[in-house]
Structure 1
Amino acid sequence: MEPRGPKQQVRHDALPADHGQLWVRSVRYAVLQRAVTAQVSIVLAKGDENPDDVCGTITAGTRLDKIVLFDVACESGNTVSVSEGSPVPLRRSVLAVSRDDSLTIEARLWDWDQVSSNDEIANGSEAFAAKADTKKTISGASGRVDVSVEWVEL
């Protein structure tokens, strides 16, 4: 008998709010068999300035889903100050991944500049097999980030 693959479910709940309105909350989840935990860390290895005003997106994807880890608009007042050698602050850094799958980290990051055009820090993706701890680099025209994934058995 072959193991069943992960099944994705979506649950919608109506929550009471002020003034008789209802808020809707959606929770998406998947049941994974033979899962491991991926601890993701992304460090600014080289930027255009120090610190850099970082903006852009970082996503983590598997066959089942794609999750946004970082999403900051490239506009005044919205960027995140990150020094070289420091981690990029992620919305979430722990993910469940099927042992038979891989985790793809995609980074599209810029150093926001008020006067000139933004400088590309990272533009690309790297895949990580759900096995040994791994560190890879995603580069851009003016910088790079180091992506580390540490795997933990559940």
Structure 2
Amino acid sequence: MTTSLYDLTVPVFDRALNALAGVLTKGEAFATEKGIDPAVLLNARLAPDMAPLTAQIQRVTDSVKGVLTRVGGVENVVFEDNETSFTELQARIARARAMLASTPREALDGKEAAEVLFSTPNRTLTFTGQSYVLSFALPNIYFHVTTAYAILRHNGVQIGKLDYLGAA
């Protein structure tokens, strides 16, 4: 039995985004309850050279969009990286989830062997659709979801594994 590229991406990414929205909701509630300026959490990072919480959310949604556009040929929608509040980050997540919901199965299925290019300022990486999803996009998405979770947890937000899994 083969698992389709659609099944490896759209429902998996949607669940990750839903869980991410849930931990952000708890982060915002924590800030309100404790009288903490939300910017403290939004700008928090695990280490001085790591990106803050806001950027973690931006990278997750960018990675989701990247799969849909690079592999699925879905029209790219620009998400400005200008969010400064929990509400704006939730809206960004909602936009990414809407892109997932509107992506037809046939946009991704059958693209396992398609050439996918990922360019950075220093080089261009070449993948197949399947290798891009499995060896680059999925690990990258989960890295940033995990880091966002860890930033909030490190700052005292009462979240646990079930929150991370979207099952809380």
Same fold (TM over 0.5): no
Relative contact order, higher structure (CA 8 A, sep 6+):
2
Quick check: which has more Rg, 1 or 2? 1
Higher strand share: 1
Higher helix share: 2
